[in-house]
Structure 1
Amino acid sequence: MTQTWQLLAKHREQTADTSLLSLFDSADRFKSFSAEADGLLLDYSKTALDTTALSLLEHITTEVSLTDRISEMFNGEKINTTENRAVLHTALRAQTDEPITVDGENVLPAIRQTLQQMESYAEAVRCGSIHSNSGSKFTDVINIGIGGSDLGPAMATLALAPYHNGPRCHFVSNIDGAHIADTLKGLDPQTTLVIIASKSFTTIETMTNARTALDWLRAALGDDTSAHLAAVSTALDKTSTFGIAPERVFGFADWVGGRYSLWGPVGLPIMIAIGIENFRQFLNGAAAMDRHFRTAPFRNNLPMMLAATGIWHHNICGYDSRAILPYDQRLSRFPAYLQQLDMESNGKSVALDGSLLQRDSGPIVWGEPGTNGQHAFYQLLHQGTRVVPAEFLIAAQAHEADLAHHHQLLVANCLAQSEALMLGRSREDARVIAAKRGFSGDALEQMAGHLAFEGNRPSVTLAYPKLTPFVLGQLIALYEHRVFVEGVIWGLNSFDQWGVELGKELAVSLLPLVDGSAPAEAYSEKDGSTRGLLSKLTDPQS
């Protein structure tokens, strides 16, 4: 542990008894501990961070050469060292003509060409010039993918529902047959377009669902289903064999990781749903956050401040999870999206040099939209034995102007929860409430114990004008960069995911044991638990 980390831990020890509420004795607490960029406000004043802690955290970013690492990422250097790849999802939304090179080649012309190809195809689907076999406009689009090829576009399409003016979009990811069956059940194959999103066109979940969808199309249309198929893939030989015309295949380079890929061809269903101009606004919002991230000083830099709160809470305060709480129903998939972004990126115990990390890395990320969560897990947030830092998201305006009273209640609830987490309820106040409810004597003291809670629980709030395509782009890019900064500080590679490989390999080897095609001796190679479960799940008589 460096001296700076030691000083930070010592500072926490010395200030641990300071209440969050007392920090607001300073009249400029909110102003000094919040930051804003292009209308997006990050309030981190309800955390225990103070000027000393932030100075030490800024010094840590200097020690890990964060500025250099940011430049390396944006300039196309191969910072994904285990896969020898650049990390350039930012180039997919770049608003510059300055060359961005990988292996000496400027990647921007190919990116712009692919975006134009996407726009031409999406607009043709939307207006009906690309149509079904029968000549009808497509009414529905099914995107079949998994992981980054599903969660990103599914989340964003839902988030931008007020901007939908194209075919309805549906998303299938789970290999569980219920997912594809339930999706196909209400659709007409005569007017349905299927997009298969798999870079290698070999992902087992995606290809299993894709073949089921193809069978469904062929049952209604015959063998010629090419008009009803498109793909996001780089495996042109495999997409051709599947019956997809080359001009309907949209590829992206290996320097775009799956969980960072919705800015490019993986975002095709978003573009079909909301249109070209809105999709460009989505890219513009992310590009604005990119510029802010690269140029704003530490204390005014939203990704750096969000990362600073994360490092402070996780590594210094010892809080092992963070709750993402969007007070926006259309962001209901945002916590799951950030769960993948954060936990797949930074859920690691191995440093860049292959050694074991010396401190905890990524926390557990979870959440649900408000106000639903208030009637579920907020009990734990307020009175549980673990402190869970909360991250609230709230818009100043809703899209439903005729339901303004709904949004006023939503805002009031969001602000009330962050305030309640900080304030808590004293034993004295709890006694007063218990007395008003008719309790007295020992029963009053007992009830006061149940009604009191300590408060002093931290939260941050992200406030934005309205959930527009631009704002959604800002929010996603903000969290992308937060994950990157935390990964740099922890000294790990945020852009690979080797931990998921073994499970995939074992699933392939287990399938013959499940379907009964494996030789008998293969069962004996498995552990006792796996053999017992196989027996239970494959033998109806067991």
Structure 2
Amino acid sequence: MTSPALHGPMAAIAALPQADLKTIFTTEPDRLSSLVLNQGPLRFDWSKTHLTGDLIDAFLTLAQEQGFAAQRDALFAGEAVNNTEGRAAEHPAERGEGKADSVARAKALHARMRALIDAIEAGALGEIRHILHIGIGGSALGPDLIIDALDGDGIRYDVAIVSNVDGTALERAMDSFDPAYTLIAIASKTFTTTETMLNAASAINWMVEAGVEDPYGRVIALTASPDKAIEWGVDETRILPFSESVGGRYSLWSSIGFPAALSLGWDAFESLLEGAAAMDRHFRLSDPRENAPLIAAFADQYYARVMGCQTRALFAYDERLKLLPSYLQQLEMESNGKSVTRDGQPVDGPTAPITWGGVGTDAQHAVFQLLHQGTIIAPVEFIASIEPGHTLDPAHHRALLVNCFAQGAALMRGKENADDPARAYPGGRPSTTILMEDVTPEALGALIAFYEHRTFANAVLMGINPFDQFGVELGKEIAKSIEADGPSGFDPSTMALIDLALGAE
């Protein structure tokens, strides 16, 4: 694979000898002690990657030159690390780690959320059996991931997370619920998000048509714009605000996590926060050589910028984590899919790779052919849990874990076959393994916070701002202009599509 053109410190990193993964445990017998890190309920294993002591030393120099420690301190101090929008990124404060007044405000808003949950459980809004959560992006992906991963721990309500503006998604959710016993949570930072508000209006109409006496009385607003929610019709007592400095894809720790806190119970939500806070402290205080998010970012940078790998594959060998790849797609690609630096200059080299993945063992019978024998090299990340999420025969979980570990070994080892090249495996393909003790709220909180900080560390090493997302706006602006002013001035292809699909409306 041809490496991209590199300059400065990255060029020096690229000039270092590349390790041979097939023999690396022979040449570096101490790799398990130097590249395996246990942090709380998580075990990180980078020993099957190309990272070496020399590479880590070089990346530590790069981190120092990029001001990593100072930028990390600025993040936790509540400074305006989101320089293009002139604001802080205070999701760690939601977990109790950050500027004192921001932490205090987050605690107060969490207390408000808990009080509302207590009132709902006491019957203040009538009998509730179903929760219809309407949001999009981070306002939906986070709660969906948490609830799906932890619902085996005794979920107390039927929950549907609806994000797509396609009415099929909303209709399917509503068809499975009784409107007389449904609570609607509307999650929108601005409370103006087009897709979310259209879905919300249709949900209200569903309740009205079913004869629900006070449909707006069954709405909980999760927003950083309480005035907009009041204007829309939600009573102030049923609005759960969160800080403007908490970005959408980092917001599950705030009131956006309301459906998880309500359906899973407050204790589970609090444990989720505590697990994330432990990872915050690890990221903020640990030695750089033992800092899990930073070491992971070193591997990411090596594969994307030195080896030119355009994708990174993630496979959860646990059905409870099947939504994790989708969650990380937004977190990583919306954060670091940029082409300019913090000061507006072109980025020197590639930034975020394409994040993709699936669930083992299903993926073994679909995409692993490319990973083992394809011409494209993609670093692979395996995630597994020591404890199963079921009570069936232990043979199920044993087979799952054996397959997970075998795939990493096979990618690295390969297999020669001079007589039949179609049955040869080149090997030398990198993988990382993250092993959880169990998929508990604490472990899940730590895992998600790890990925958040890894994303931030990557951004610092590249010199970009991970907290804006202007790239999502242009298509939405054009869609709004078509709705407001009609189709005009577009290319012939777009005009033909609009005329064919919408011309009869």
Whether TM-score is above 0.5 comes out as yes
- Correspondence for 2:117 among 102, 114, 122: 122
Confirm or deny that 1:530 pairs with 2:502.
no
1:44-93 C-alpha deviation (Å, 9 max, x unpaired): 00011111111001110011010110000000010101110011100000
Q: CA deviation at 1:2?
A: 5.3
8 A contact 1:20–1:47 mirrored in 2: no
> How big is each residue's C-alpha offset from its partner over 1:267-296, in whole Å with a ceiling of 9 and x where there is no partner?
001101111111110000000000111111
Residue deviations 1:463-500 (CA, integer Å, cap 9, x gap): 11000000000000000000000001111100000111
**In 2, Cα distance between equivalents of 1:144 and 1:397:** 32
What is the DSSP-based 3-state SS (H/G/I as helix, E as strand, rest coil) of the residue aligned with 1:160?
Answer: helix
Instruction: Give the whole-Å Cα distance in 1 for the aligned partners of 2:154 and 2:14.
Output: 49
Opposite residue 526 of structure 1, the aligned amino acid is F
Q: Deviations over 1:494-513 (max 9, x none)?
A: 00001111111000011257
Partner SS state of residue 356, structure 1 = coil
After superposition, the C-alpha distances for 1:179-201 in whole angstroms (9 at most, x for unaligned) are: 11111011100100000011211
Relative CO higher for 1 or 2, CA cutoff 8 Å, sep ≥ 6? Answer: 2
Rounded to whole Å, the distance in 1 between the matches of 2:79 and 2:484 is: 42
Deviation at 1:332, TM superposition (A): 0.8
Number of corresponding residues: 500
How far 1:236 moved relative to its partner? Answer: 3.0
Q: Secondary structure at the match of 1:221?
A: coil
2:181 is aligned to 191
Distance change (3 Å), C-alpha of 1:37 and 1:534: same
In structure 2, the CA distance between the partners of 1:485 and 1:403, relative to structure 1 (3 Å rule), is: same
Task: Flag the 1:422–1:384 CA change in 2: closer, same or farther, 3 A.
Answer: same
Question: Of 461, 467, 470, which aligns to 1:498?
Answer: 470
Counterpart-to-counterpart distance in 2, 1:457 and 1:235: 48
User: What secondary structure, in the 3-state scheme, does the structure 1 residue paired with 2:394 have?
Assistant: helix
Q: CA deviation at 1:427?
A: 1.5
Q: Name the SS for the 2:359 alignment partner.
A: coil
Q: 1:78 aligns with which of 77, 80, 91?
A: 80
Alignment of 1:453-464 (within 5 A): 453-464=425-436
Query: Per the alignment, in what secondary structure is the counterpart of residue 343 of structure 2?
Result: coil
Residue of structure 2 aligned with 1:237, choices 227, 246, 258 = 227
SS at match of 1:46: coil
Per-residue CA deviation, residues 229-261 of structure 1 (Å, 9 max, x unaligned), is 111123333322433211110111111000000
User: 1:442 corresponds to which residue?
Assistant: none
C-alpha change, 1:238 and 1:294, in structure 2 (3 Å) is closer
1:305-316 matched pairs, under 5 angstroms: 305-316=295-306
For residue 368 of structure 1, give the secondary structure of its aligned residue in structure 2: strand
Q: Name the SS for the 2:210 alignment partner.
A: helix
Q: Deviations over 1:393-450 (max 9, x none)?
A: 011111324432111111001001001101111025xxxxxxxxxxxxxxxx4xx111
* Contact kept? 2:21, 2:49, Cα under 8 Å: no
Q: More deviation in 240-249 or 494-503? A: 240-249
The partner residue of 2:437 within 465, 485, 496 is: 465
Letter in 2 for 1:31: S
Mapping of residues 356-375 of structure 1, within 5 Å: 356-375=346-365
What residue number does 2:245 align with?
255
Q: Check conservation: 1:123, 1:275, Cα contact below 8 A.
A: no
Q: Which residue of 2 aligns with 1:100?
A: 99
- Unaligned stretches of 5+ residues in structure 2: 1-5
Matching residue of 1:488: 460
User: Contact (CA 8 Å) 2:81, 2:87: kept in 1 or not?
Assistant: yes
Other-structure match for 1:140: 130
CA contact (8 A) 2:180 2:212 kept: no
Letter in 2 for 1:15: Q
Match of 2:25 in 1: 23
Distance 1:476 1:78 in 2: 23
Partner AA of 1:100 in structure 2: K
Contact 1:350 1:356 (C-alpha < 8 Å) held by counterparts: yes
| CA separation of 1:49 and 1:237: change in aligned 2, threshold 3 A | closer
Question: Contact 2:320/2:389 (CA < 8 Å) preserved in 1?
Answer: no
Helix, strand or coil: the match of 1:366? strand
Which residue is 1:8 aligned to? 13
SS at match of 1:92: helix
Q: Is the 8 A contact 1:35 1:299 kept in 2?
A: no
Contact 1:76-1:88 at 8 Å conserved across structures? yes
Partner deviation per Cα, 1:133-173 (whole Å, 9 max, x = no partner): xxxx2111011000010011111110111223321211011
**Structure 1: distance between partners of 2:184 and 2:154:** 18
**SS of the residue 1:263 aligns to:** coil
Q: How many Å apart are 1:222 and its aligned residue?
A: 4.5
Give the AA of the match of 2:14: A
Instruction: Find the aligned partners of 1:360 and 1:140 in 2 and give their Cα distance.
Output: 45
* 2:41 corresponds to 1:51: no
**Which has the higher mean CA deviation after the structures are superposed, 375-384 or 340-349?**
375-384
Task: Give 1:335 shift.
Answer: 0.3
Q: How does 1:154-303 map to 2 (within 5 A)?
A: 154-222=144-212, 224-303=214-293
Is the contact between residue 20 and residue 48 of structure 1 (CA under 8 Å) also seen in structure 2?
no
Structure-1 separation of matches of 2:61 and 2:442: 32
Is the Cα contact below 8 Å between 1:36 and 1:300 reproduced in 2?
Answer: no
- Structure 1 runs (4+) deviating above 6 angstroms are none
1:383 Cα deviation from its structure 2 partner:
0.7
Q: TM-score, normalised by structure 2?
A: 0.96
Alpha-carbon distance in 1 for matches of 2:103, 2:424: 58
2:3 equivalent in structure 1 = none
Question: Structure 1 CA distance, aligned partners of 2:417 and 2:10?
Answer: 36
